[in-house]
């Protein structure tokens, strides 16, 4: 039995028009994991909402926590790239 690589899966998803949604879902999961591990004390107040272009939008109920996440945005983007191969340009917040 032949194994299927990540590249093959993405190619097939592009053919069906689902690749962008699947990658966005992977990004949201990676962001959620990063936020839970790095901001565990405020994890109930943080929720990644969606990816638009190369920007991740995060709902955050506390502006102080949003500021701390913003200070570590480069680290978050690097983590997402390492986990999913998707390059993010930045983070936006919905308070």
Q: Specify the CATH number for the domain of residue 67.
A: 3.30.300.180
pLDDT in tens, 55-91: 999 999 999 999 999 999 999 999 999 999 899 999 9
pLDDT in tens, 16-28: 877 788 889 999 9
Hey, what are 36's tokens? 């839970």
- Domain limits at 18? 6-94
Number of folded domains in the chain?
1
Report if residue 1 sits inside a domain: no
In this structure, the strands spanning 55-60 and 46-52 are antiparallel
- C-alpha 82/C-alpha 64 separation (Å) is 27
Report if residue 34 sits inside a domain: yes
pLDDT in tens, 33-49: 999 999 888 778 899 99
């Amino acid at each position: 039995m032949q194994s299927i690589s990540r590249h093959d899966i993405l190619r097939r998803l592009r053919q069906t028009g689902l690749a962008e949604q699947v990658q966005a879902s992977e990004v949201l999961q990676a962001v959620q994991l990063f936020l839970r591990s790095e901001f565990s004390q405020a994890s109930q107040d943080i929720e990644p909402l969606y990816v638009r272009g190369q920007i991740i939008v995060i709902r955050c109920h506390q502006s102080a926590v949003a500021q701390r996440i913003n200070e570590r945005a480069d680290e978050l983007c690097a983590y997402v790239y390492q986990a999913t191969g998707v390059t993010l340009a930045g983070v936006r917040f919905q308070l």
